[in-house]
Each structure stands twice: as C-alpha cells, then as structure tokens.
Amino acid sequence: MSIEKKTLSEDLIDLVGADNVIIHDEELEKYGLDMFGEKHTPLLVVKPSSPAQFKRLNFILRRNKIASITPRGKGYDINLGAYSDDLIIDLTLLNKKMEIDTEKFVVTVQTGMNIADLQDQLEKKGFHLPIEPILNGTLGGFIASGGIGYGTFQYGSIMNYLRSATLILSNGQRIQTGTPGAPLFSRGYNLNSIVCGSEGFFGIIEEAVIEILPKTPHSLNLLLKTDINSLLSVIPKLANLSTIYNLSLFKTLNMHNPSGLDLFIRLEGAQTVVEEDFTKIKVLSEEKGSNLNEANNLWDNRPKNPSQIPPASTIIELIVPTKHIPEFIKFCEAFENPSYFGIFLDATSVLLYIFLGKEITPDRKSDILTELKTSANQFELYPPTIENNIKGFVKESYPNLALLKKLKPIFDKANRLKSRKFDF
C-alpha cells in the first residue's frame, strides 16, 4: 500500500472504525465489477454512519488531497452506477433516521435506508411511497438515478414526491434543495432537479423529505397471456383506465409461461373504479387467461434483490417505444434467446431489462452489444446504456449538459473538492 493510501486509510479508520473502511483488494473487488463485466478498483471504501462524520470526512479528504469521490448505495444501478476508481462513500449505514408525519403526509429519512424498509414502516402507518424501483436499493440511489419504476405509470417519478434533499457539497457545507415545509408545487426556490437523476454529480444526498400517500384502499393483480400483436392493440386501450398502477412485460422470466409473453397488470384505487377497470380489461382482452392467482403470486414474489434475478452475463437497460416492441423483440430473438422484463412508463414506452445468458462468451457478448448499439436509432432506443456508453449519450443528447457544465464549476469553486469527476 502506498504511503498516501496508508495515511488515508488510517485517517478514515480513526473516523469510522476499522469495520467501516474497506482496504483489502478482494473486498474492494466486490465493489468494482459492473453489470457489463468491466472492472473498477476503488481506491478505498468508507462507510460513514452519522451525519456528524461528514464534516471531518471532508477535512480528511482535503488533507489527503482526494480530488474525487463516488457516493454509493447498494450499487445496483447499471448505467452510470456507483462504480469507479475513486474513494467510494458507501452510504448504506446512513439509515437511522425516519420521521413520518401522518398529518402533513411527509417522511424525513436518511438516504441509506432501503426502499423496502421505508415502505414497511410507512405501511404500518397506512401510507406508502407510490413509486419504487424493481431492485431494493437505497433511497439515495433511487433519487440520484432518476427514480422511476413500479407505480410510474400512474404516479410519475420520485421527482414528483421529493420536497427537499439535504445535499452535502464537497466542502462539507449542507444545502437544502427545496423547502421541506412547503407543498411541492408551490412557487419559488427549488433545486430538486439537480439531485434527481444527478448520479451523485453535485454531492452526497444525506437526507430527503418526501411526500407520501395513504395506501390505496383496493388493489387487483391480473396476468394476460398474450402475443406481440395483441399486446400492441391492448396497451393504448389500457392507457384510458385510471387505476393502472403498474404494467409489466415478461418474456421467459415467468416460470408459469416459460416461453410466452405475459402482461402483468396491477390496478390500485377505490374499489368500485378498480372493479370497473377490471371488467373493461376482461372485455378488451377477450378474457384470455386473466389468471388472478398467478398474478398475485407474481406480485408477492417479485424480485427485489439481485440474487432473485436470473443469472446473466450482462443486463442491458433500455427504454423502448411501445410501437417498436415487436420488431425489437424479433431482433433480440437472434441473441441466444434472452429473457426480458419490462415496466411500462406510460402507454408509449417501456423500461426494458434484457438478460443475456451466463454462458455467452465474451466475444459473442461484445458482438451483441455492438449489434444493439448500431440498431439503437432504428428502434429509437433510449438511453443507450449499451457498452456503458452513458457518457456519450449525455454528451450528444442531454439537453441540460450546457447548464450542468456552467453549474459544476460554480459548485466546485465554492467547494475545494469535486464530488464526481466527469470528463466530457
């Protein structure tokens, strides 16, 4: 270990204890392999557990001339992700505080908290956060990676529920990105959009104040066994129903229908409206196998952590326009029959995860990624996380890049330390 790294690790151990600093290569490697199989070796990993530690942490970083850090939750994000060669700040121990205000309908929570733990606590009080990711990452990771998932069809993204975040800038200073006491859609100061989808670019989100909703009084799950053509005719009709909470698409992942295409529908709302919608769905799907038990089973056992998703050599995350699903799936069939799982964000697009088999050779994998990349325009795919090419995507397509470029130096001037290094 270099003298610099040794001094840094001693300082960090002094701050958070030896159990909360990862220095050994084999443990560091667990933090370093992304979903594309690319290896990153973090300098070290430190796990702060209380807000009070951040001030000294910042001092230590400056003292050791650490120019760049990467905040991290569970590391489940597959595009920009929390993978880097930086010092990683693992925030999963920052999960002690959760204050639910059932009169004002808000929860104040430390961002290392798992989404599932947060939901459990809210549900005990009759509330819920209406949007949640497929995998049970941290609240901070969900906010920083844009926050869409189950519930987006009806409720949009986490941005619609975030009143304010406490952001630790790289000089240790804390700022509120919104006004915790003011309703979300009031006029005035609101910088929430610099944390939602920021991927940790501007600093560490330490705490968030989030609006919550009373739990929906009624829900109903159903499963339509379908084919591509019926799928396309059904989706636009479903968009007119008011209680669709979630629409998911499965191919070969669902054990009950290992070769077919399944559309999972969850309705949530007042009982009478849910039942009306259910009747309409039965009519428009011509009652093709709307199996309730299978659907309940699927929902209750939905995968929440990576060990429950199929073993795959690569997971590709894409947004595919609904109109291109048939050709896109046909195109993908050429890839050793991959499995899919998708969540419709609305009637026009699906967030699709493609699981490439574990047995695929590295050469074949790279061919597939190249094929996908060259076809991205043809299918209007977005974002091309293929080959971890998010930086190229941001450079070409992200409308706020110019603004970000202007903002970042201002943040960095106020801060002696960059929170995240990006070279465009």
Per CB under 6 A, the list member of 200, 269, 383, 384 interacting with ligand FAD is 200
Give the footprint of ligand FAD on residues 103-132 (CB under 6 A): 111
Cα–Cα distance for residue pair 370/3, rounded to 1 Å: 42
Residue nearest to ligand FAD (CB): 141
Q: What Cα–Cα distance (Å) separates residue 410 from each residue in 61, 163, 166, 414?
A: 20, 24, 18, 6
Binding piece for ligand FAD, criterion CB under 6 A, among 25-33, 74-82, 119-127, 173-181: 74-82
Closest by CA position to 171, among listed 52, 59, 15, 16: 59
Of the pair 194, 220, the CB lying nearest ligand FAD is at 194
Minimum distance of ligand FAD from residue 289's CB (angstroms) = 26
Amino acid at 68: S
For ligand FAD, the binding residue among 53, 58, 70, 388 (CB under 6 A) is: 70
C-beta closer to ligand FAD: residue 274 or 329? 329
Minimum Å gap between C-beta 10 and ligand FAD is 25
Q: Which span sits near ligand FAD by CB under 6 A: 117-125, 180-188, 196-204, 400-408?
A: 196-204
Q: Minimum CB separation from ligand FAD for residue 273, in Å?
A: 26
Binding flag, residue 162, ligand FAD (CB under 6 A): no
> Please, what's the largest Cα pairwise distance for the chain?
71
Nearer to ligand FAD, 93 or 273 (CB): 93
How far apart are alpha carbons 70 and 88 in whole angstroms? 5
CB 419 within 8 A of CB 201: yes
Q: Measured from the CB of residue 183, what is the shortest distance to ligand FAD in angstroms?
A: 24
Write the interaction track for ligand FAD spanning residues 302-341; mark x where CB under 6 A is met and - where it is not.
-------x-----x--------------------------
Interface segment toward ligand FAD; rule CB under 6 A; list 181-189, 197-205, 268-276, 331-339: 197-205
The edge-to-edge listing of strands for the beta sheet with 244-251 is 218-226, 261-269, 244-251, 339-346, 349-357, 312-321
Q: Which of 45, 91, 235, 281 binds ligand FAD (CB under 6 A)?
A: 91
Q: How far is the CB of 283 from ligand FAD (least distance, A)?
A: 30
When the beta carbons of 200 and 278 are compared against ligand FAD, the nearer one is 200
Taking the C-alpha atoms of residue 331 and residue 174, their distance in angstroms, rounded to an integer, is: 48
Task: Decide whether 70 or 226 has the Cβ nearer to ligand FAD.
Answer: 70
Which range binds ligand FAD by CB under 6 A, 11-19, 140-148, 272-280, 373-381? 140-148
Determine if the peptide bond prior to 409 is cis (ω within 30°): no
Nearer of residues 161 and 278 to ligand FAD, judged by Cβ:
161
List beta partners, residue 72: 90
Total number of residues that touch ligand FAD (CB under 6 A)? 36
Q: Is 248 in the site for ligand FAD (CB under 6 A)?
A: no
175 binds ligand FAD (CB under 6 A): no
Q: Does 34 bind ligand FAD (CB under 6 A)?
A: no
Asked if 204 interacts with ligand FAD (CB under 6 A), we say yes
Q: Which is closer to ligand FAD, CB of 137 or CB of 338? A: 137
Q: Report if residue 134 touches ligand FAD, rule: CB under 6 A.
A: yes
In whole angstroms, the minimum distance from the beta carbon of 253 to ligand FAD comes to 10
Residue 77 touches ligand FAD, criterion: CB under 6 A: yes
Read off the amino acid at residue 47.
Answer: K
Choose among 115, 97, 102: nearest CA to 213. 102
Task: Check: CB of residue 205 under 8 Å from CB of residue 111.
Answer: yes
The correct pick among 40, 47, 72, 225 for binding ligand FAD (CB under 6 A) is: 72
User: What residue ranges bind ligand FAD (CB under 6 A)?
Assistant: 70-78, 80-82, 91, 111, 133-135, 137-138, 140-142, 144-149, 199-200, 204-205, 309, 315, 343, 353
